[in-house]
Amino acid sequence: MTYTVIDAPQRSPEWFAARLGRLTGSRAKDMLATIKSGEAAVRRDLRAQLVVERLTGQSAEDGYVNEDMQRGIDLEAEARAAYEARMGVLVDTAGFLAHSELMAGYSPDGLVGDDGLIEIKCPKIATHYRRLSSDDAWSDVLPQIRHGLWMTGRTWADLVSYDNRFPDRLRIVIKRVTADALALDEYDEKVRAFLAEVDRDIAAVRGWEL
C-alpha cells in the first residue's frame, strides 16, 4: 500500500482539509453497514457526505465534541506513554495518511516499528471495564483498525483502552489483532466498490449542470 504522509496535527485545519472527501478509518464502520434489504442509512449518509465535500471543498463533519470525546482527546498522549511503558517500545506519531490511488485516508494514533500500529481509545468507564474481561467489547473498534491495517500495509495492530480512573494495573488494556485475521482483500473490494459509488454520484450531480 502506498500513501502520502500529511504532517498536520490531528484536528487542525490542515488535518480536516486533508480528510475532505476521503473515506477515513473513523467512518469505516458506516461504510460496512448492511441491512436486510437496500442500503443502510448510515452508509447512504456517508456517501452523500463525501459527495458534498468533494463538490464544495468544505467539510461536512459537524465537529461536535461531547464531554466523553474531549476526555479521550485530552488523555491520548498519556495513554500512548502508558502503552510505551507497558510494552517497552517507542511509538511514532503521524498526521494524516492519504492513499496514493484512492480517495481514502487514515490518521494513526501511533506507528510501532516497521510492522505495527496502535489505536487508542479512552472510553466511558463501563466500556473500559468490559474490555478488561471480554474480547467482544472491542467489536466497535475493529472496522477502524481494519481500515488502518489496509491503508498502511502493516501486519498487526494493538487496540488500546485506557482509563486513569482505574487502579494502576487496570488502567490499560491491550488487544492485538493481525492483518491476516481481518480479511483485507475483501475489505479492499468493499472500499473500491463504495468509492466507485461516490464517483458515480458526483458524475450524476455534475450532469445536472449541462
> Could you report the average pLDDT of every consecutive run of 10 residues in the chain (210 residues)?
85 89 96 94 96 92 73 88 96 93 96 96 94 89 96 97 94 96 97 97 79
Only one residue has cell 481509545, namely 121
| Separation CA 186–CA 203 (nearest Å) | 26
pLDDT of amino acid 209: 58
**CA geometry: angle 142, 68, 141, nearest 5 deg:** 0
Domain residue extents for the chain: 3-207
* Fold of the domain built from segment(s) 3-207: Lambda Exonuclease; Chain A (3.90.320)
| Separation CA 59–CA 106 (nearest Å) | 16
pLDDT of amino acid 74: 86
pTM: predicted TM-score of the whole model, two decimal places: 0.92
Cα four-point dihedral sign 34, 39, 40, 45: positive
Contact at 8 Å (CB) between 79 and 85? no
Residue 5 phi/psi, 5° resolution? -90, 120
pLDDT of amino acid 63: 65
| Separation CA 24–CA 102 (nearest Å) | 11
pLDDT of amino acid 106: 96
CB-based burial of residue 127 (10 Å sphere; 0-12 exposed, 13-18 middle, 19+ buried)?
middle
